[in-house]
Structure formats: structure tokens, C-alpha cells
Amino acid sequence: MKIGSFFLGAVATLMLMASCLGDSDQYNAGITFGHPTYLNNGVYANTTGDSVLMFSYGDWGVKLSDASWVHMSSTNGMGNAVYRIPVTFDQNTTGKSRQCMVRFYDINHTDVISTFYYIQYATRGDGSLGNAPAVKKITGSDGSKFEFDYDQLFRPVNVEMSKNGTQLRSLTLTYNDKDSSLIVYDGTEKYMCKYSPDYQPYTLASSTDTIGYHLVANGYTYLRVNQAFRLEHRKNGNVLNATTFFLGGRSLAADSLHVADSVYYYANGVDYEKINYKYGNVDNRCQTVDVNQLVDGAEHCDPYLLLSLFRYARHTSVVSEVSSLTRQQRVSVQLNSDKSVSQMTVTSGDTSVVYDFEY
């Protein structure tokens, strides 16, 4: 087990610190952390583990302000030692964020304390709420079918997309939490990445392709990511297709509400369509999949965005109208009692496609 040189340096400094109670009671005391290093530490609704790396000069204890969802494997220990303490979290199914104060203290000198906070978001790493049910199947009136499987953390592990019995796409995802690696099998391609605590890729890479986020240029500078970002699929270094999202400065922080004012689609070397959206008052975080991806139909649906593997591309509201120079569509939804989508209808002119959801 490697311990960072910064942390070891902090420990060495701490051991030189002295506090005086009086001439007859002089002592050295203090508590420092190698991890976490922030006062406020966000974890996702489906984050279930962390660890605390700490050193205390004296014998120590710890108190939690809310032990109902934060569980520490050790709550006391001896002084003059470095401890790595596994921490587990219950999944947050409340639909709201919650907070727990973690307070370490010197047992013999209770005025010596060190505190940090865990803040568990209302949303999972994919942007869905922690109480959102997992979509198992979507059946379209046009013969389309989408089937999904998830693990216990509500991470997608398989999606099958077909139309009239013909397979369109098939993805299998394998997570390794020991080294935070993700493998995605997409047809003949094998994509890999390392993921953060949100279990999401920033860029997936195969031997020839990449799928991931990119900044948007504005002259000689780049726009801030909350102004605009681009999701690109590159093959052999060339852009195969891309989608650019213009957000107008909306926050992309966990639990934030954000939608795109417009989206540009790119393929074959040109921007071929600009899409404008209007949104209703239906929350798109109340089921695991991004239902807005169904607007383009099964043949053009991106499974990575449908699964919200790239969370920032997920509008947090369900669209009500979609327009461009070549199309005008209306979208209506019916909801279950838990606000998840039960049925979605996409109307283009005189033609409608009805999608039924199963959980």
C-alpha cells in the first residue's frame, strides 16, 4: 500500500506540533487526513464505498452525525499510527441529497478534533435519481424493442436494440471496481476506460476508435464546458460523428437541472442538422434511461446516450417539441405513480410512434 508523500510530510509536521494545557500537562496532539482532503466530499446516490486515510498523535475516536447510511469499519484506534479505514454507504433512495458529519477527536484531549462531511447526492452517477426504477424493456409501435440489464448499483450491463426482429445494436458492459475499469463490447469493438466514483467514462477507447467529451472552440479559445461541449466518435483519429450541446451557462454539477438550448449533429465532415428543443415539466431523471434519445427512432438512437453513459448529455427535462429545418416533432408522456415514464408518444406530422416502458 502506497501512502502519498504529501500525507507523510503532513504527518511528520503534525508530530512536531505541541499544545499546552499547563506547565504540568504538556502534550503533543493533532489529527490529519491523507484522504479525504476536502471539508465537503460529494458521493453519488449509488456510491457504496470510500476510505479514510488518517493519522492521530493520540488515541482517537470518531462520531457520525448520521450513522443510518454511513458506516465506518473502525471507530477508534491507537495513537502514533497511520490508519486506512474502509467506509461504506447505503444507496440513497430518498430522492434528496443528504449529509453526514464525520468528527475525529483525540480521546484524551477532546478539544483536539478534525471534521469533514460526506454529502450524498440525490442522483446516481448516470444522472438518474437514486429512487428511479430500472427500465427493463421499451417496446415501440413501429416494431422497435430495447431490452436492458443492470447490476445492483443500477449500472447498465447489457442493452439490446432491435426493430422488427432485426438486431440494431448490442452492448455489454463489465465493471471492475478493484481497479475502476470499464470494458464495453460493442459489436466487434472493445472499448476500455478508467472511471471515477460516478462509474462514468470521460473517454472510451478501442484499438482504433474513441468515444468521449471534447471542448468546443470559439475562435482561438475554448468555451467553458457549461456553455457548450461536444461528444465525438472518432475512428482512426478522424471524427466519424459528433453532437454539440449548447447549454447557455447552466450548471453541470451533480443534482443540477440543465437542458440544451440547441444541439448540432455532425457527420461526413459537415454539421448536417441543428435541433432546437422545447421542454415540458416532466423530470427526465425519474427512470434509468434518457427517454429523449427515443425521439430520433431506434435506427438513429445512440445506445451510449440512451444509457446515460455520458451524463452531461442527458437533459434533465423531457422534451415536448423538437424542431429543425427538416422536421417538427411533438412529444407527450404518461407517467407512473413514481413519476417514471410509462408511455411516450413521438408525433411527426400524421405519424406517431408509441413507446411502452416496462420496469
Instruction: Tell me which DSSP letter residue 319 carries.
Output: E
Specify the pLDDT at position 9: 52
pTM: 0.90
What's the rounded Cα separation, in Å, for the pair 13 and 186?
A: 51
Amino acid letter, 105: Y
Specify the pLDDT at position 23: 45
Tell me: the pLDDT tens digits for 69-106? 999 999 999 999 999 999 999 999 999 999 999 999 99
Specify the pLDDT at position 271: 76
What's the rounded Cα separation, in Å, for the pair 353 and 359?
A: 20
Tell me: the pLDDT tens digits for 137-159? 999 999 999 999 999 999 999 99
Domain 137-358 adopts which CATH fold? Porin (2.40.160)
Predicted confidence band of residue 272 (pLDDT cuts 50, 70, 90): confident
Amino acid letter, 170: S
The mean per-residue pLDDT over the stretch 8-15 comes to 49
Mapped onto helix, strand or coil, the DSSP state of residue 133 is coil
Tell me: the pLDDT tens digits for 302-343? 999 999 999 999 999 999 999 999 899 999 999 999 999 999
Dihedral over alpha carbons 226, 205, 45, 223 (to 10 degrees): -10
Q: Say whether pLDDT at 13 is over 70.
A: no
Specify the pLDDT at position 1: 42
Q: Using alpha carbons only, what angle is made at residue 7 by residues 5 and 9, rounded to the nearest 5 degrees?
A: 70
Tell me: the pLDDT tens digits for 41-70? 999 999 999 999 999 999 999 999 999 999
Specify the pLDDT at position 270: 72
Domain range list for the chain: 5-120, 137-358
Specify the pLDDT at position 265: 92
- % of residues, the chain, pLDDT over 70: 92
The mean per-residue pLDDT over the stretch 20-33 comes to 63
Specify the pLDDT at position 155: 98
Which DSSP string do the residues of 274-294 spell out, in sequence order?
A: EEEEEEEEEETTSSSS-GGGG
Specify the pLDDT at position 14: 47
The mean per-residue pLDDT over the stretch 5-11 comes to 51
Mapped onto helix, strand or coil, the DSSP state of residue 78 is coil
Mapped onto helix, strand or coil, the DSSP state of residue 323 is strand
Tell me: the pLDDT tens digits for 165-174? 999 999 999 9
Question: Quick one: which H or E segment has residue 209?
Answer: strand 209-214
C-alpha closest to that of 2 among 104, 84, 88: 84
- % of residues, the chain, pLDDT over 90: 88
Specify the pLDDT at position 10: 52
Q: Say whether pLDDT at 20 is over 50.
A: no
Q: Say whether pLDDT at 269 is over 80.
A: no
The rounded mean pLDDT for the chain is 92
Q: Decide if 5-120 and 137-358 have a common fold.
A: no
Predicted confidence band of residue 26 (pLDDT cuts 50, 70, 90): low
Residues 6+ apart with CB under 8 A from 351: none
Q: Say whether pLDDT at 7 is over 60.
A: no
- Domain 5-120 is in which class? mainly beta
